[in-house]
Amino acid sequence: MTKINRTVSVAPMMDCTDRHDRFFLRLMSKNVMLYTEMVATKSAIHGDRKKILSFSPEEKPLALQVGGSDKNELSEVAKISEGMGYDEININLGCPSKKVQKNKFGACLMKEPDLVSECIGEMINSCKIPVTAKTRIGFDDTEDFNYLNNFILKIKESGCKKIILHARKAMLKGLSPKQNLSIPKLNYEMVYEIKKENPDLEIIINGGISKTEEIKNHLKLCDGVMIGRAIYQNPYFLVDIEKEIFKVKNNPSREEVAEKLLQYLEKEVKLGTKVNHIMRHTVGLYHGQIGSKNWKRYLSANMMARDSDFQKAKHIMTIVQNNEKTNQAIA
């Protein structure tokens, strides 16, 4: 079993953290923990498992995030995830979308702590890999430490020892999933208090974290940090994390990342993968750098259509090399 280091992890993000994005992120960090997009239990059990659940060895350590509230289905998916080689299975107790609520999983399960405890207990009894939970600090009008702590204790009763806390409450009515990522105010102090009250639990803090100094500060009071949008929008931020948090000295340049990605792209295209399915994840590679506009412009014009030609992808190395020369000259 792969040793898991949860000091820093990349959050599960719908339509973002698919297998191509995870491969891309691994080119810049060997140490962060990666998570899949949320997969509904019924999809994992009855769907095309190769398409939905497959991953490459390079992506590990890797956790499968699952959404559901049927203990038997969750138990079955726990077995499946272990059999497929995942290093962890994580239950989503934080997504606020109406579609997710309709299917009775995500943040609405914060209203049903007994059911959550029962479901997680069944998952733990079904596999040997770690079972973890990702939730929020509250929902709607409920943002109360005692309620949250009692909810955490119910999760703990199930045998789950590792919990990811998004430091915002979930608004189940009136806000879209996107709005739920910014409008509810961050409350890091509540997460710190949960850790203080439950020192035996591994508490990972999530929400609005975008700088290495912020990571260092959170790590003084929590066991780990999970980052989502800041990494998807600026994937090379992972190299800063490798340097500052994991103390890795030899890190890849953007040019080296692009070279390896191009090799992966060529292999995947031969297997039938569309160019845009991979390249859409790379838009932020030059985030904040000179040459960012040229990079985005070329991707938009040549790499984002369904019928994008791999031959045009080869030209990205010219753009990368020009960008690298320009930024090095300025530095």
* Secondary structure of residue 7 in the 3-state scheme: coil
The CA–CA distances, whole Å, from 64 to 12, 19, 47, 290 equal 9, 11, 15, 36
Q: How many CB atoms lie within 10 A of CB 255?
A: 13
| Paired residues of 33 in beta bridges | 9
The CA–CA distances, whole Å, from 19 to 16, 120, 313 equal 9, 25, 19
Torsion of CA 16, 19, 20, 21, to 10 degrees: 40
What whole-number distance in Å separates Cα of residue 101 and Cα of residue 111? 12
Nearest of 134, 120, 17 to residue 77 by alpha carbon: 120
DSSP string computed for 116-181: HHHHHHHHHHH-SS-EEEEEES-BTTB--HHHHHHHHHHHHHTT--EEEEESS-B--SS--TTGGG
| Paired residues of 35 in beta bridges | 63
What whole-number distance in Å separates Cα of residue 20 and Cα of residue 36? 11
- Active site (annotated) includes residue 127: no
Structure tokens at 173: 């009515």
What whole-number distance in Å separates Cα of residue 84 and Cα of residue 313? 32
Catalytic residue selected from 95, 119, 127, 222 = 95
Annotated catalytic residues are 95
